[in-house]
A and B are shown apart, each in its own frame.
Chain A
Amino acid sequence: MTTTRASRPTATESLADQKVPAALVVGGGVAGMQAALDIANQGFKVYLLEQSPSIGGRMAMIDKTFPTLDCSACILTPRLSETSRHPNIELLSYSEIKSISGEVGNFRVKVRRKARYVNEKKCSACGDCVPVCPVEVPNSFDQGLGFRKAIYSPFPQATPAAYTIDKKGDPACRATCPAHVNAQGFVTLMKQGKYDQALEIVREAIPFPGVLGRVCIGFCEAECERGTLDDSISIRNLHRFLADYERSNKLARPITARIDKKDKVAVIGAGPAGLSCAYQLARKGYPVTVFERSSHPGGLLRYAIPEYRLPRDILDEEIQRIVDFGVKIKVNTPIKSVRGLLEKGFKAVFVGSGACVSNRLGAPGEDVKGVIRSVEFLEKINTGQKVEIGSRVAVIGGGDAAVDAARVAARLGAKDVTVIYRRSNVEIPAIPSQVEDAKREGVKFMMLTNPIEVLSSKGVLTGVRCVRMRLGEPDHSGRMRPIPIAGSEFTLAIDTMLLGVGQSADSLGVQKECECTEFATVKADPVTLQTSIPGVFAGGDVVTGPLTVVKAVGHGRQAAESIDRYLRGLPLDSGISPAKHRVQSYEVDKSTIPQAKRAVMPKRGTSSGRADFSEVELGFAEEHARAEAERCLNCAVCCECGLCVKACQREAIDHSMADESVELSVGAIVIATGYQLFDITAYPQFGYGKFPNVIHAMQYERLINAAGPTKGHLIRLSDGRIPHSIGFIQCVGARDVSKDVPFCSRVCCMYGIKNAVMAKEHIPDADVTIYYADIRAFGKGFEEFYEMARTRFGVRFVRGRVAEVMEKKTHNLVVRFEDTETSKIQDVEHDLLVISPGIQPPEGLDDLAVELGMDLGTDGYVGVTNEIITPVDTSVKGVFVCGCADSPKDIPDSVSAGSAAAMRATIILNQMRNKA
């Protein structure tokens, strides 16, 4: 993760007024806020660090407090604003501790301020951005009930009052695509039927949504995270759908060329690389001229790819769009000299002349009649020339050109077409669906076979001698190296041989003026694509050797960026944003996603006879495309569609923000990191996560909260009905030796009773039952509250822990328990079950402890030096603890501990002040 040095005035300020000792409070829950306020009110500086976008902690999620049934938010929110307005408190929300060094009186703390992508100062929390955001993810503040957008504010009174964009980085699809097409972006917009905006996103990156939607190899699909769950998203076919949809509904808006710059740019070669470069430059306003040797633009798209894969009208229209942007394409104009172009007044040149020379097989006897290079073969077919082929055709090679040649040969009437490839069908580089289609059309594949000699009689091809191969160790390309099997030679009688064993750059080509490799490819900088001649850039096959269309298109885009910088006189490497974090598999929660197969591409049948040259893949219907888009997992959450930027009237949203690093100097540290709920999926017998009407207590809090996902209506999740029988299961993930939580969580009995009482308040006629082993009503007013729940509210208390929960067809739940007062085993049906989980030390507390050199107890809580006389002192001098970080506490106890920790911290700060 990249971070830049902080330029925040407030952070550097701390060095200037170092005379005022400062404290760091880690955790902005109710205990942390109390500690921060108490320290700040004594005239010290306080940094209040919170990892989530807003302070408030768990109390902000809770509906009511026990035993007084006060509104939690009503108590909390004045504290929130007091904390955020306090002149001595600096709020570091959405931040994490990177490292801590030093000792009491002088801790140096490095903090990573995560990018919100929203300017806290400019954002007024108006929420205009929310309705336009297309990404919906489970609402973590509401405990996964309901959804929130990628741009969000956890709750209405969130402090600081600024929205946050949840962006994890680059999704796998976008990171993999050589042209960096924002795949998650356009797929997400497709979910909402915003096809025009989706297409706009594709066209940001590439001029060819329709062309690449047909011929792209789809690197993105190989890396798609959905593939680890069932099938990857059909990304390629989805942008093909977008292009087709626009075309068939005639929605394309006319393009007006905006050429407003003076510096002329020349592009050599109207192939995918050159056209892509010209497209991007013209959109930036540069006058571009593309020089093409052949009679039509398109390069190998036109001359190598057969019409049944890429109908020519699609290609022509997309090239016409490029011309509409103001690009001039001069066909039949071979270029002799790159330098000559520069002399003619072009300020920059892009060389995209491709790799147009076919490789030789390297076997004896290949220069006989009947041996045709597959690219030349395809070119002749694609330009309408006639090619004589025999009835028995062998195609050598496993690339797309070879497979295309084989399918064309079959269409031309060859009876027997065999593709001979030296590796297995796992390594074959052709697009898998093309191989499949070829097989469907009757093309045979002879894998693990290599031609060793071309047999001829009187200069005419008669057959080919082959040898069987086996796969050995991986070679430098990472593929298994094929090794001939001795004695396995055999002869195949053929009339025509199509050679598709690769292409090379023309060693006599125009690129030779630049510094080249021994393969005649240009040596270009991998990032800027600049060649040895200043102002000359190169990309596509002429740099990489023969590769795929999308790589060439990506190079064109990359070169356009460089040329723009070059012409503006900027350093070529300036402004290249450092590679963003690629979202990793473990960061995407797939646990709750039901499996769904990918959409099947409808294809024209071949059962009715031989295939012809009309298109085979027919494209998705709208409903299938929408359904396919729905499968996208939103790996990076924010898809960078940019709609929020347009919606924001205060220009507060900046997607280019990066994480910042801040260094603090503090005299004392207060740890108030709170707690996490026990993960109750460790109790499979209760069916949480499987039965929709089994929820946990924090979800219940959100359900009954007026600001929650149901606006405070207590309903069950399976059907939205009002539950008339509610059960509460106590002691789950607490007092359980077998789950390593032997201690009592202290709060569950009381919050359980409180929740039961609230259930009665919401639905007075409901039958509410609490299943318990002991009721621990240990504090002031608690026993009375328990008594009131039983007598006044009529909550039923059953002594007996629940053994298991079963679900009925109605999604009602049956709990089995032994009523220990009667020794009867009972099965009782409830509409809704609420599990009261115990509480545990929060995630990441152990890392913080390591950073501080602090002791944790065996239970994972912060250890205090003496529980009786120094209950807030940790084992590290100057570091104090409050709230639930050292043991389970209820709210009043947490706040008391916050004040206590503040007092202990200010003793140190006072000593520092007195010394100074």
Chain B
Amino acid sequence: MMSEPEHGPEKDVEYHPNSRFSQEIAAEPGGEYIRKCIQCGLCTASCMVANYTDKYRPRRIIQKILLGEREQVLASELPWLCMTCRLCEERCQEGVSLAEIFHVVRDIAAREGRVPKVFKDTVNQVLKDGWLLKDAFSDFIQDDRTDLGLNPEVNFDGEFVKKVKKRYFEQGDKEEVKDE
């Protein structure tokens, strides 16, 4: 039969892997097409991150979602490693948006207070310093910048950070970003 495959969640007949967790993802904006995945591995082979670490396998994360491994996926820090370069989406022949799906997974995790510690720390560091690399910015780097003909002073504006914090984060001067 040559009918146009329909995208989007189906109501009456279920042709796709149908765990409760995959339904949950599919119900969120961006997660709709997760159950189109046929596990061909094109995403993993295209992935920049997977190229550098054996731990990260986007196809495996999708597979776990499809199999309903909710606990395992939300507890893992792997969905947080996606760089959102979207090369996998560009190449995926089934129209699955992995970056969007991982975004949904992170949303769910955040709602349930399961942001991995390293990411929490990162955000707090930025809120505290205004940028990420304050501790790492040393005299050596200043020298390097001078050698490269760049201005050694990065002219970081702490006042501006305070304003931003006040404006966008209710916590204002409070120390920590709490789980929502």
> A773, A825, A887: which contacts B45 (Cβ < 8 A)?
A825
Q: How far is the CB of A456 from chain B (nearest CB, A)?
A: 65
CA distance A801 to B37 in the complex (A): 13
Q: Do B38 and A818 have beta carbons less than 8 Å apart?
A: no
Within 8 A of B (CB), among A768-822: 773-774, 799-804, 816-820
CA distance A656 to B7 in the complex (A): 57
Q: Do A804 and B45 have beta carbons less than 8 Å apart?
A: yes
> A738, A742, A801, A857: which contacts B41 (Cβ < 8 A)?
A801
CA distance A816 to B46 in the complex (A): 8
Within 8 A of A (CB), among B47-66: 50-51, 57, 59-60
Q: Do B45 and A801 have beta carbons less than 8 Å apart?
A: yes
Q: Chain A interface (Cβ within 8 Å of chain B)?
A: 685, 731, 735-739, 742-743, 773-774, 799-804, 816-820, 823, 825, 857-859, 861, 867, 887
Q: Do A818 and B91 have beta carbons less than 8 Å apart?
A: no
Q: Do A859 and B4 have beta carbons less than 8 Å apart?
A: yes
**Among listed B92-100, B125-133, B162-170, B171-179, interface-contacting one:** B92-100
B84 within 8 A of A: no
* B149 contacts across to A, CB distance below 8 A: none
B71 within 8 A of A: no
- The 4 A-B residue pairs whose C-beta atoms are closest, nearest first, are A818-B41, A803-B45, A737-B95, A800-B41
Q: How far is the CB of A32 from chain B (nearest CB, A)?
A: 21
> B38, B50, B57, B91: which contacts A774 (Cβ < 8 A)?
B38
* B108 contacts across to A, CB distance below 8 A: none
15 intermolecular pairs with C-beta atoms under 8 Å apart: A731-B40, A731-B93, A735-B93, A737-B95, A738-B91, A738-B92, A774-B38, A800-B41, A800-B45, A801-B42, A801-B45, A803-B42, A816-B45, A818-B57, A818-B59
> A801, A820, A823, A867: which contacts B93 (Cβ < 8 A)?
A801
B39 within 8 A of A: yes
Given A736-B93, A742-B4, A803-B46, 18 more A-B residue pairs with CB atoms under 8 Å apart are: A731-B93, A735-B94, A737-B36, A737-B92, A738-B91, A800-B40, A801-B93, A804-B46, A818-B44, A818-B50, A820-B41, A823-B57, A823-B59, A825-B45, A857-B2, A859-B4, A861-B2, A867-B2
Q: Do A820 and B4 have beta carbons less than 8 Å apart?
A: no
Q: Which residue of B lies closest to A741 (CB)?
A: B93
B90 within 8 A of A: yes
Q: Do A737 and B94 have beta carbons less than 8 Å apart?
A: yes
Q: Which residue of B lies closest to A731 (CB)?
A: B93
Q: Would A817 and B45 be within 8 Å (CB), given that A742-B5, A823-B60 are in contact?
A: yes
Q: Do B2 and A801 have beta carbons less than 8 Å apart?
A: no
Q: Do A773 and B44 have beta carbons less than 8 Å apart?
A: no
Q: How far is the CB of A813 from chain B (nearest CB, A)?
A: 15
Q: How far is the CB of B36 from chain A (nearest CB, A)?
A: 8
Q: Which residue of B lies closest to A887 (CB)?
A: B2
> B5, B7, B41: which contacts A817 (Cβ < 8 A)?
B41
* B40 contacts across to A, CB distance below 8 A: 731, 773, 799-801, 820
Q: Which residue of A lies closest to B6 (CB)?
A: A742
Q: Do B39 and A820 have beta carbons less than 8 Å apart?
A: yes
Q: How far is the CB of A801 from chain B (nearest CB, A)?
A: 4
Q: How far is the CB of A268 from chain B (nearest CB, A)?
A: 74
Q: How far is the CB of A796 from chain B (nearest CB, A)?
A: 16
* B51 contacts across to A, CB distance below 8 A: 825
Q: Do B4 and A858 have beta carbons less than 8 Å apart?
A: yes
Q: Do B38 and A773 have beta carbons less than 8 Å apart?
A: yes
* B44 contacts across to A, CB distance below 8 A: 818, 823, 825
CA distance A799 to B4 in the complex (A): 25
B1 within 8 A of A: yes
* B93 contacts across to A, CB distance below 8 A: 731, 735-739, 801
Q: Which residue of A lies closest to B5 (CB)?
A: A742
* A818 contacts across to B, CB distance below 8 A: 41-42, 44-45, 50, 57, 59
